[in-house]
A and B are shown apart, each in its own frame.
Chain A
Amino acid sequence: EAQVTQNPRYLITVTGKKLTVTCSQNMNHEYMSWYRQDPGLGLRQIYYSMNVEVTDKGDVPEGYKVSRKEKRNFPLILESPSPNQTSLYFCASSLDRRAYEQYFGPGTRLTVT
């Protein structure tokens, strides 16, 4: 089944404790992206990647890191999480480098206390 998977689905952590949210797609997609979703703000892009070893900042990259060492994986790293990073996170992928027809994962609910 073609899909985007994220792990974990739910995470509660404390300020400053490094964490990684994994994202994997099995569709051989070129483009991958991370978004955060907050009430009243819609989906905002954190980082994106158009190919292996090619990543770029989105609209809200502060406090986040990403890497794209393999085509299928695009982990999101929070080196020192803060409460303002409490949010619902989505990974997405697209066959097209222009970000057309993006497939979204199921989401990761992160709470930082």
Chain B
Amino acid sequence: GENVEQHPSTLSVQEGDSAVIKCTYSDSASNYFPWYKQELGKGPQLIIDIRSNVGEKKDQRIAVTLNKTAKHFSLHITETQPEDSAVYFCAASISYGGATNKLIFGTGTLLAVQP
């Protein structure tokens, strides 16, 4: 079946450094790739997403890049801060009968930003 692989599973960085999380997907028809941040005891929250007609998208310290040929996309966080510490999930849209109606999630990356 369709799947999304996410790496690394844990990532520890020093405050101020950059963090990169990578995902690969299997469905070549996927056209929507969101990233969610989940803080302890809370539900996932959408932080950024990208559609397949663009290769990169930025929002302040967060950026996502997409390589459709290689079927992988990445989350980049610059100038990390302790409040960036959380679990991050990537996801890719799945199409059935030409209609996109669900997301497949990666297994998550626990990011720890050390002060």
Contacts and interface: CB of A to CB of B under 8 A. Distances in A.
B35 to A, nearest CB: 12
B86 interface: no
Interface stretch (B14-22, B43-51, B54-62, B74-82): B43-51
Contacts of A92: 43
Contact of A43 (B44, B99, B101): B44
Given A43-B89, A100-B32, A106 B49 contact: no
Interface stretch (A11-19, A44-52, A61-69, A77-85): A44-52
* Chain B CB within 10 A, most for which of A31, A45, A98, A107: A98
A6 to B, nearest CB: 9
- The size class of the interface chain B forms with chain A is 20 to 34
A7 interface: no
Nearest to A88: B43
Contact of A90 (B32, B43, B93, B100): B43
Contact of A98 (B32, B36, B42): B32
Contact of A40 (B41, B91, B102, B107): B107
Given A48-B101, A100-B49, 4 more contacts: A35-B105, A44-B105, A92-B43, A99-B102
28 contacts: A33-B102, A41-B107, A42-B89, A42-B106, A42-B107, A42-B108, A43-B89, A43-B91, A43-B105, A45-B102, A45-B103, A50-B101, A58-B102, A59-B1, A90-B44, A98-B99, A98-B100, A98-B101, A99-B100, A99-B102, A99-B103, A100-B49, A100-B93, A101-B34, A102-B46, A104-B44, A106-B42, A107-B42
